[in-house]
Structures are given as structure tokens and as C-alpha cells.
Structure 1
Amino acid sequence: MTYHIAVDIGASSGRLVLGQLVDGSLTLAEIHRFSNGFTERDGSCFWEMDYLFDEIIKGLHLAKVKGIHECTLGIDTWGVDYVLLDAGGERISEVYAYRDRRTDGVMEEVAKQLPPHQVYAKTGIQQLTFNTLYQLYAHNREELESAEQILLVPDYLYYRLGGRKMNEVTNASTTQLLNLAARDFDAELLAFLGLRREQFAPLTEPGEELGFITPELRAEYDLPECRLICAATHDTASAVLGAPLPEGRSSAYISSGTWSLLGVELDHPINDSRAMAANYTNEWGAYGTYRFLKNIMGLWLIQEVRRLDGGRYSFAELAEQAGACEGFRSLIPCNHPRFLNPDDMIEEIRQACRESGQPVPQTAGELARCIFDSLAMSYHTYLAELEELTGQRIQVLQIVGGGANNGLLCQLTADVTGREVLAGPTESTALGNLAVQMIEAGRVSDIHEARRIIADSFAVRSYLPQPVPQLAELLVRWERLHR
């Protein structure tokens, strides 16, 4: 098949992207784009799963209208969130969003019963309040016990399209329930939650064929004949696959979107006490790799500022206004839990600056500059940790995803870290999704060839570091904020 469609859904938007390999070059065309976001009802946060499925169907119908009668199809979304199904394959409950506050305090409660160092030694997954382990612990026991199957969000969307139940490994690893040694769900952790292994579907690797979209869906909605290919369903896993990491140079990536994920691609996990103390994670990747990375709050901060400001300015305009403001005037510890889902992000940022005795940002540009400066300082800190934990000296930072479009943030990152930053491609998540499809379809031999094609097909901009005269003073200020 010559047509490949990536369904790429993030926390704030989703799209269907058509990929074609023409004369050795990969081209992309957006078929359909739609918004996404959790809704709040009765004090809880939920994803609109039927809406997401309907938007996929709309996009596939548009593909058929455009003359695409046959294609392969892969899906990627965010991690950790899950769907409970009954014996008839129907949802038992609404799907909680990971920013829901029901897990407040749960991580600490679980730690009293399960020593965190033992959980990390088993799973290699960092301690985050929204990990599936803690979400399931907080979930209604009656609903859990009645669940015939527990699927993660992309697994569920594949199931709705083709009828096959699975747990894809790159996303399943984010649950903090997979045992690195056994390469399966950990029996002790499942027993702690009162769950059975058979409540989870078989683990499935990226690249496995999952059958076709059901004839009923094709007939009802006039859809193409889509051969379903298991993508690396965690969006970061796909983003890393789509990152054209430079060969011959030691490189790290930052997948920059709602979250900033800073890490390296390894062929083995690092789940020792030092990695645990630094709260680095070992998410499973495609083709026998691991994503050894740090979660950083990311562009969620500016997304919330823009939303609360009524959307008066585009992200490009906010970056332009930030560039006109004084640099490093105010800084915030981006990864503090207070910024995970505050009632008012603007006020939370301002209050953090008041508490630390810094100038309080007032304008949209000052708020944006505070965020971008703080993200760049975060990258400096965590890059140093990454080098120490891996024993690698990182020469190049490859920024992919939406943040690659932010020239100010890319330059700040280069300046503060003292490393060359390669920015792009923006569409790395869709590209990684498509790469797996093309490998399985025999269009590309392996991920190395896929990355070379991506590097040749899409522009990547280089940012070289410029001196930051006050860097030593900044690092002292930054250190003080984290005490």
C-alpha cells in the first residue's frame, strides 16, 4: 500500500495525517484536525472518548472522499489513562484524565505499603502522581472488579475500529505495572491492586498487524479499507522514532509539546538508585529500545496562560512579545506539582514569583518570558543529570514537536545548556507513527533508514549557543528556587 495514515492525538488536539513515500522522500498532508481536552463534571476530569472516535471516523471518511481507498493506519495518544470494559466490550465508566485530582496524596499512601525503591527496581518508571498504578488504586473498587478488560486509550481506539483487544508495550510501560525483567505485567503489583493478569490484554509490539477496520464501520461511514498496524502508541515513543537523531554525535532529544520529555534512546534500562533519586523513567520504546527520560511540565504552562488570557495572542505572538521582554527577570520551578493543574495558571505563576521575592510578571509577554526562561533552565539542570546518569557527554539536543517552532525557546536552550540545538521536525510524532507503518508494509527496511529519510525530507534548524554573562548567578538563583 502506498498510503499511510497516522492518527495522532495529544492532550490539546488531534489530527489524521497522510504520509506517502515518493521517490525516496516522505511527504505529509493533514487530512483532518480537531480539538481535544478533558471536561470537568462534578469535580472530576474526563476525556470524551466517543468524540475522539467520531473525529477519527470523520477523518477517515474525508480520506475516502479524497480518493484514498486503501491504506495502513496507526494510532498514538498520550499515556497512563485507561478504559474499563465489561464482558460485552462496552465502557463501564467515563475515562478519567490524568490531571484529575483524585490521585492527590495517593502516591504517598501507596508508598507506605509498597516501598518505592522496590517498585522502581521492578518497573524503572518514575514516580508521578498520575501514573496508572496510582489511578487504579484510587478507582472505584466495584468498577475495577467488574472490568473484564483494561485497555489504555489508544488500545481502546484500535479496538473500536477493528475489534482486537491488546496492550501495546510503549504505552503499557507508562502504567508503572510492567516488570522489566519478566517483560510482562508484574504479578505483585497487580495483586496489590486486586487485579488479575487476564484483565489486561496480551502485550503487543509496534509493527504488529492488527487486522482491518470492521466491514460494518466501512459500510456505515464510507471509509477506506484500512489495515491496522500497531504503532508505537505512546506519543513520545512515536516522537522519538520520528526524531532524526544525528548519526556519529552523542545526542539527546526533547519532545516538546504539552510536556517536555528530555532523554536519550538506550538499548537497556537504567533502574538503579541514582536514576530513581533523580526521578528518571525507563519507558519502553520500539525495536528493543528504552526511553530514558525526564518529564518536565512543558508548554502546558503557556497553553494555560493563553487560554486564561482569552486566546488574544497566538503562540507565535506570545513568543515575539516574550523576546521583547527582559530575560531571566523571573523564574519558576516548572516541575513543582502546583503547576500540574491549578485553578488559575496565571495567578499561580505570579504567586510563585511573589513567594520567592522576584518581580511579578504582569503582561502576557512577561508571563511567556518567565515560562520560556524557566523551561530553558530546567533543560540545563536535567541535561546535567542525564549526562551523569548515563555517563554520556551530550553534544547535540534535538528538539522535536511543537516547541521546535519556538525560536526563542530553542535559542535560550542552546544558550543555557551550551549545546547546539537542532530544531525539528515539528511533526515528529506523526512521522514516527508513519515510520512503523512503512517498515511493516515493506516500504522501508528499518528505523535507521526511516530516520535518514525523515532527515532528508524535512527542514531542521540549527541554533548555536551564545554566551550568557549572568549564567553563574542564574544557576545560584535557580538552585535557591528548588530548595
Structure 2
Amino acid sequence: MSDHIAFDIGASSGRLVAARMTQGRLELQEIYRFANGFTDHNGHDFWNLEYLFQEILKGLQLAKEAGINECTLGIDTWAVDYVLLDGEGNRINEVYAYRDSRTKGAPERLHQLISRENVYAKTGIQELDFNTLYQLFVHDQEELSQAEQILMVPDYLYFRLSGRYMNEVTNASTMQLLNAAERDFDEDLLTIVNVRRGQFAKLTEPGEVLGELLPELVQKYMLPRCRLIVVPTHDTASAVIGVPADAERGWAYLSSGTWSLLGVERKEPLTRLDAMKANYTNEWGAYGTYRFLKNIMGLWMIQEVRKELDSKYTFAELAAIAEGVPAFRSLVPCNAGRFLNPGSMIEEIQSCCRESGQPVPESSGEIARCIFDSLALTYRDALQELKNLTGEQVEVLYIVGGGSNNKLLSQLTADLLKIEIQAGPSEATALGNIAVQMISIGQLKDLSEARSLIARSFPTKVYLPNPLEERDKVLSLWQELKTKFKKL
């Protein structure tokens, strides 16, 4: 098959991207884009999965109208959120969004039953309040007992298209329930959250052919014939496949979107105590790899600010306005829980600055500048930790995803980290999704050939570090503020 379709669905939007090889290069075409987001119902935040499924069908109809009659198809989404199904394959309830407040305090309660050190030694997954482990721990026990299947969000969407159950490994690993040594669900952790191994499907590796699109869907909605291929369903896992890395140089990646994920690709997990204390994670990747990375709050903060400003500015305009504002005037701890889902991101940023004795950002440009400066400093801390933990030399940092288009943030990162930045492609997630499809059907030989194709097809923008005036003073201020932030 010469046509390949990636459904890349994030927390704020989703899209259907089609790809085809033309004269030795990969060409992408965005056929359909749709909004996404969780909604509040009775004080809790839920995703609308039926809406997402209908948007997938609509996208496939548009693909056929665009001339795609048969193709391969892969789906990636965000991580950690799950779907409970009864014996008939019907959802038992709507799907909680990971930013829902129900898991507040859950880690502390769960770790009275098993230590943090034990959980990390088993799973290698960092502690985040919204990990599936903690979500299941606080889930209604009656609902859990009724569930015949527990699927992650992309697994469920594949099920609706194919009729087949699976738990794809890159997303399943984010549940904090998989034992890295045994490569399966950990029985001790399953017992603690009161679920059974039989409620989960077979662990499935990226590249497996799941089968054809259900004939009844093809006929009812007049869809193209699609061969469903299991891709890295965690969007970060697909994005890392899409990094156009030069294997001859030491490299790290920064997948920059709603979240910023900074890490390296490894063949073995790193589950030492110092890695746990630094809150690094070992998420499973495609082809036997591990993504040793740190989660950073990311562009969620500027997305929320833009929403509060009634989308008056584009993201590019906010970055341009921020560039005209004095640098490092106000800074915030991006990864603090207060920024996970505040009622007002602007007010939360202002309160944090006020409480820590800093100038309070008032204008749109000052608030945006505060976010970008704080993110770049957080990236610097994370990269230094990463190098200390792994002992690896990093010569170049690849920034992929939508954040790679932010020139101000990319240059700030180069300056503060004193490292070469290669920014792009912005569509790394869709490209990684598609690359696995192409490897699966033999159109590409392996991951190395896929990355070479991506590098050839989508040149990166290079940012070299410039001398940063008063850099030492800025870093000293940042250290002082981090001490203050811990006390807030």
C-alpha cells in the first residue's frame, strides 16, 4: 500500500495526516483536524470518546473523498487514561481525564501499602498523581469489578475499528503497572489496586498488524479499506521514532507540545534510586527501546493563557510579544502541581510570583515571557540531571512537535543549555506513527532507515548557543527562587 494514515490525537486537538513516498521523500498532507478537550460533569473531568470515534470516521470519509481508497492506518493519543468495558464491549462509564482532581493525595495513601522505592524498582515509572496506578486506586470499586476489559484510550479506538482487544506496550507502560524485568503486569501492584491480569488484554508490540477495518464500518460510512497497524500509541513514543537523529552524534530529544518530554533513547531501563529521586521515567518504546525522560509541564501553560485571552493572539504572536519584554524578570516552577489544572493560569502565575517576592507579570507579553523563560531554565535543569544520571554525552538536542516552531523558546534553550538545537519536524508524532506502519509492511527496512528518510524529507532549523548576558546572574537567581518555591 502506498498511502498511510496517522490519527494523532492530543489533549487539545486531533488530526488525520496522510503520507506517501514521492521521489525518495516522504510527503505529508493534513486532511482533517478537529478539536478535543475534557469537560466537567458533576465536578469531575471526562473525555468524550464517542465524539473522538465519530471524528475518526469523519476523517476517513474525507480521506476517501481525497482519493485514498486503501491504506494502512495507525492511532496515537495521550497516555495514562483508560476505558472500562463490560462483557459486551460497551463502556461502563465515561472516561476520566488525567487532570481530574480525584487523584489528589492518592500516591500518599497508596504508598502506605507499598513503598515508592519498591514501585519504582518494579516499573521504572516516575510518580505523577495522575498515573493509571493512582487513578485505579481511587476508582469506584463496583465499576472496577464490573469491567471485563481495561483498555487505554488508543487501544479502545483500535477496538472500535477492528473488534480486537489489545494493550499496546508504549502506552501500557505509562500505567505504572508493568514490571520492567518480567515484561508483563506486576501482580503485587494489580492486587493493591484491586484489578486482575485477566481484565487486561495481550500486551502488543508496535508493528503488529491488527487486521482490516471492520467491513460494516466500511460499508455504512463509505470508508477506504484500511489495514490497521499497531503503532506506538503513546504520542511521545511515536514522536521519538520521528526524531531525525544522527546516530553518529550523542543526542537527546525534547518532545514539545502540551507536555515537554526531555530524554534519551536507551536499550535498558535505569531504575536506580537517584533516577527515582530525580523523578525520571522509563517508558517503553518501540523496537525494544526505553524512553528515559522527564515530564515537564510544557506548553499547556501558554495554551491556557491563550484560552483565557479568548484566543486573541496566535501562539506565534504571543512569542513575538514576549520577545519584546525584558528577560528573566519573573519565573515560576513549571512542574508545580498548582499549574496542573488551575481555575486561572494567569492568576496562578501571578500569585506564584507575588508569593516568591518577584515582579508580578501583568501584560500578555510579560506572562508569556515568564512561561518561556521558566521552561527554558527547567529544560536546563533536566538536561543536566539527565547527563549526570546516564553518563552520556549530549552534543545536540532535537526539539520536535509543535513547540519546535517557537523560535524564542528554541533560542533561549540553546543559550541556557549551551548546546546545539535542531528544531523540527513539528509533525514528528505523525511521522513516527507512519514510519512504524511503513516498517511493518516492509516499505522501510528498520528504524535507522526511517529516521534517515525523515531527516531527508523534513530539514531541521539549527539554533546555536549565543552568549547570554548575565547568564551566571540568571542561574544564581533561579537557584534562589527554587528554594523559595519549595516553601510555597
**Structure 1 length normalisation: TM-score?**
0.99
- The residue correspondences of 1:71-110 to structure 2 (distance < 5 A) are 71-110=71-110
Identify the residue that residue 360 of structure 1 maps to in structure 2. Answer: 360
Deviation larger for 307-316 or 243-252 = 243-252
Structure 1: distance between partners of 2:468 and 2:111: 42
- The residue correspondences of 1:121-160 to structure 2 (distance < 5 A) are 121-160=121-160
Identify the residue that residue 469 of structure 1 maps to in structure 2. Answer: 469
Structure 2: distance between partners of 1:68 and 1:183: 38
- The residue correspondences of 1:160-171 to structure 2 (distance < 5 A) are 160-171=160-171
Structure 1: distance between partners of 2:354 and 2:377: 19
Equivalent position amino acid for 1:200 in 2? F
* 1:459 Cα offset (Å): 2.2
Identify the residue that residue 260 of structure 1 maps to in structure 2. Answer: 260
Q: Matched residue of 2:474: which SS?
A: helix
* 1:194 Cα offset (Å): 1.2
* 1:22 Cα offset (Å): 1.7
Identify the residue that residue 37 of structure 2 maps to in structure 1. Answer: 37
* 1:320 Cα offset (Å): 0.3
Equivalent position amino acid for 2:149 in 1? Q
Q: Matched residue of 1:351: which SS?
A: helix
Q: For residues 279-312 of structure 1, what are the alpha-carbon distances to aligned partners after superposition, in whole Å with 9 as ceiling and x for unaligned?
A: 0000000001000000000000000000011110
Identify the residue that residue 26 of structure 1 maps to in structure 2. Answer: 26
Q: Matched residue of 1:287: which SS?
A: helix
Identify the residue that residue 210 of structure 1 maps to in structure 2. Answer: 210
Question: How many residue pairs get matched?
Answer: 483
Identify the residue that residue 486 of structure 2 maps to in structure 1. Answer: none
Identify the residue that residue 10 of structure 2 maps to in structure 1. Answer: 10
Q: Matched residue of 1:226: which SS?
A: strand
Structure 1: distance between partners of 2:480 and 2:122: 34
Equivalent position amino acid for 1:334 in 2? C
Q: Matched residue of 2:286: which SS?
A: coil
* 1:470 Cα offset (Å): 1.7
Equivalent position amino acid for 1:47 in 2? W
Structure 2: distance between partners of 1:201 and 1:475: 48
Identify the residue that residue 318 of structure 2 maps to in structure 1. Answer: 318
Q: Which runs of 5+ in 2 are unaligned?
A: 484-488
Structure 2: distance between partners of 1:259 and 1:11: 10
Q: For residues 403-443 of structure 1, what are the alpha-carbon distances to aligned partners after superposition, in whole Å with 9 as ceiling and x for unaligned?
A: 10000000000000000100000000000000000001111
Q: Matched residue of 1:80: which SS?
A: coil
Identify the residue that residue 191 of structure 1 maps to in structure 2. Answer: 191
- The residue correspondences of 1:201-350 to structure 2 (distance < 5 A) are 201-350=201-350
Runs of 4+ in 1 over 6 A off after TM superposition: none
Structure 1: distance between partners of 2:476 and 2:140: 46
**Structure 2 length normalisation: TM-score?**
0.98
* 1:468 Cα offset (Å): 1.5
Structure 2: distance between partners of 1:29 and 1:124: 37
Q: For residues 252-292 of structure 1, what are the alpha-carbon distances to aligned partners after superposition, in whole Å with 9 as ceiling and x for unaligned?
A: 10000000000000001000101001000000000010000
- The residue correspondences of 1:367-406 to structure 2 (distance < 5 A) are 367-406=367-406
Structure 2: distance between partners of 1:451 and 1:222: 34
* 1:321 Cα offset (Å): 0.1
Structure 2: distance between partners of 1:221 and 1:481: 57
* 1:247 Cα offset (Å): 2.3
Identify the residue that residue 174 of structure 1 maps to in structure 2. Answer: 174
* 1:245 Cα offset (Å): 1.3
Q: Which runs of 5+ in 1 are unaligned?
A: none
* 1:481 Cα offset (Å): 2.3
Report % sequence identity. 63
Structure 1: distance between partners of 2:300 and 2:446: 34
Query: Are the equivalent residues in 1 in contact too, given 2:71–2:225 (CA < 8 A)?
Result: yes
Q: Matched residue of 2:220: which SS?
A: helix
Q: Matched residue of 2:334: which SS?
A: coil
Structure 1: distance between partners of 2:338 and 2:467: 32
Structure 2: distance between partners of 1:127 and 1:474: 30
* 1:242 Cα offset (Å): 0.3
Equivalent position amino acid for 1:321 in 2? I
Structure 2: distance between partners of 1:262 and 1:57: 33
Identify the residue that residue 67 of structure 1 maps to in structure 2. Answer: 67
Equivalent position amino acid for 2:290 in 1? Y
Equivalent position amino acid for 2:301 in 1? L
* 1:393 Cα offset (Å): 1.9
Structure 2: distance between partners of 1:340 and 1:76: 22
Identify the residue that residue 433 of structure 2 maps to in structure 1. Answer: 433
Q: For residues 223-270 of structure 1, what are the alpha-carbon distances to aligned partners after superposition, in whole Å with 9 as ceiling and x for unaligned?
A: 011000000000000000001112211111000000000000000100
Q: For residues 327-349 of structure 1, what are the alpha-carbon distances to aligned partners after superposition, in whole Å with 9 as ceiling and x for unaligned?
A: 11110010011000011100000
Q: Matched residue of 2:287: which SS?
A: coil
* 1:480 Cα offset (Å): 2.2
* 1:111 Cα offset (Å): 1.3
Structure 2: distance between partners of 1:7 and 1:112: 40
Structure 1: distance between partners of 2:192 and 2:171: 21
Deviation larger for 395-404 or 470-479 = 470-479
Equivalent position amino acid for 2:288 in 1? G
Q: Matched residue of 2:288: which SS?
A: coil
* 1:65 Cα offset (Å): 1.1
Query: Are the equivalent residues in 1 in contact too, given 2:249–2:396 (CA < 8 A)?
Result: yes
Query: Are the equivalent residues in 1 in contact too, given 2:113–2:192 (CA < 8 A)?
Result: no
